[in-house]
Amino acid sequence: MNDSCFHSLRRLPDKRHSPVLSSVAAWVAAALLTACTLAPPERAPELPLAGGWKGAAADGWVSTAAHQSWREGRWWTLFGDPDLDALMARLDIDNASLAQAVAQVAQAEALLRQAEAQRAPVLGAQAGVQRSGRPARGSADLGLTASWAPDLWGRLGDAVRAQGAQLQVSQADLAGARLAAQGSLAQAYFALRAADAEQALLDDIITGYERAATITGNRYRAGIAAHTDLLQAQSTLDNARATRAGLQRNRASYEHAIAVLLGQPPARFTLAPAPWIDQVPTVPPELPASLLLRRPDVAAAERAVAAANARIGVARAAWFPSLNLSASLGGGASGLSQLVSAPTLAWSLGAALAQTLFDAGARDAAIDQARAAHLAASAAYRQRALAAMGQVEDQLSALATLATQIGHVSAAAAAAAAAEQRIMNSYQAGLSAYTNVVSAQASTLGARRALLQLQLQRQQAALALIEALGGGWQAPWAAAGGAP
């Protein structure tokens, strides 16, 4: 129990002064004790937040010019894709996982109201009319009852605080479910647009292979090229067409995933091909590690610690007696007209004090269990925060590495394309074998596809970094004065 509770009780008048003061003191004591709590002081576990990030110099994820969109949680607008913006607007309406999380928040709110209702008095009323016998006789009765169990040791208050923190856990879980759904939608969308870009690349390459096959066929029919050259040209063209068909299958899978996220049957959802906007936002000058404290799963873990702390107080309160106050007013008569007359009415007041004397250590075990649950929640909170830090560092490192790789592969793709053109010219002039052309074509295709894949990976790493930091600077439940 808090020391302030004992200090308040010491200031009450001595019961020896007068019966009236003694009665008043008893009621005041009960009122003061209802404000007490047996829970330990609430302190969140210390987190080893660093002053900066190892990969903070990497190019990456958010522009300071888009600060307002980022603050409001509309992080996807930083990628500058109107089609993605439109899909995100549909996510909150139709996603089934979000609907489930919303229902769980509503359930937690109802449980909180139930816990709060336990602290209020209970009022009841009963009325009855009966006729029986020969000759008929009538009777009527009316009664009002009231009862109240003062929260002397803060058990109900701690239960309310525990359920309030649990509600905030549910709210954070909802924010986490929303962020996960948004991240999954963005990942699938970027992969689909990258598939569109790769299909367009393959279409251009297939056109070039068709032209090369035509040239080789003409040379073969003119007796200039060998039949093996024609076969190799046709094989290269067919392989490219097979790769194009595989990309179409992958694109369909991404489209189906988007449909499911939007709560739509895949058969009724179509996303037309469009140019891929491979934009990656840039890193702001400041990236505080404290952003992790607003990440939904980290915030949920911290609120779980607060709930476990309050449950320790609930368990401790079982060691103290409980008080129940009751009152009733009622009466009976032979008819309704006589029921409301004063002589038929009776009243009563009562108080009952109950205390468990022996329970074979059950209360001690409950306290030990609550303390162990608090330790487990604290460890889970710390581990969740550490995992979040690791994810941020991973994505910062990935962005830096991918930027370097893209530069090298872009130069390699340009060089391979130039070499392919020269070798083709050399082949047409009869100075080179067609096997050199095939090798050059494969090298160019591999380099250009690798460049597209690296660009997709960089965009997805930026998205993963945003998710690792919780999706924004303003958590939705914090705006309502909930979790810190």
- Give the mean pLDDT of 248-259: 94
User: Residue 164 phi/psi, 5° resolution?
Assistant: -65, -45
pLDDT in tens, 8-27: 444 444 444 444 444 444 44
Predicted pLDDT of residue 481? 39
**pTM for this structure?**
0.77
Yes or no: say if 74 and 92 are a contact pair by the CB < 8 Å rule: no
CB 296 within 8 A of CB 176: yes
Q: What's the rounded Cα separation, in Å, for the pair 436 and 421?
A: 11
Core vs surface per residue 319-328: b (16+ CB within 10 A) or e: ebebbebbbe
Rg (CA), the chain: 37
Beta bridge partners of 348: 328
pLDDT digits (tens, 9 = 90+) for 181-236: 999 999 999 999 999 999 998 888 888 888 888 888 888 888 888 888 889 889 98
CA nearest 220: which of 202, 205, 239, 233? 233
Nearest Cα neighbor of 374 from 138, 146, 42 is: 42
Res 110: pLDDT: 92
DSSP string of 189-228? HHHHHHHHHHHHHHHHHHHHHHHHHHHHHHHHHTTSS-HH
**Phi, then psi, of 328 in degrees rounded to 5:** -145, 150
Residue found by looking up tokens 């109201």 in the block: 113
CA distances from 344 to 127, 156, 365 (A): 14, 38, 52
Interatomic CA distance for residues 364 and 366, integer angstroms: 5
Which segments of 192-344 are extended strands (E)? 322-333
Extract the runs of DSSP E, i.e. beta strands, from 237-288. none
Higher pLDDT, 40 or 253: 253
Considering the chain, what is the average pLDDT of its residues?
Answer: 80
Q: What does the pLDDT look like over 43-78, one tens digit per residue?
A: 767 776 665 666 655 444 444 444 555 556 788 888
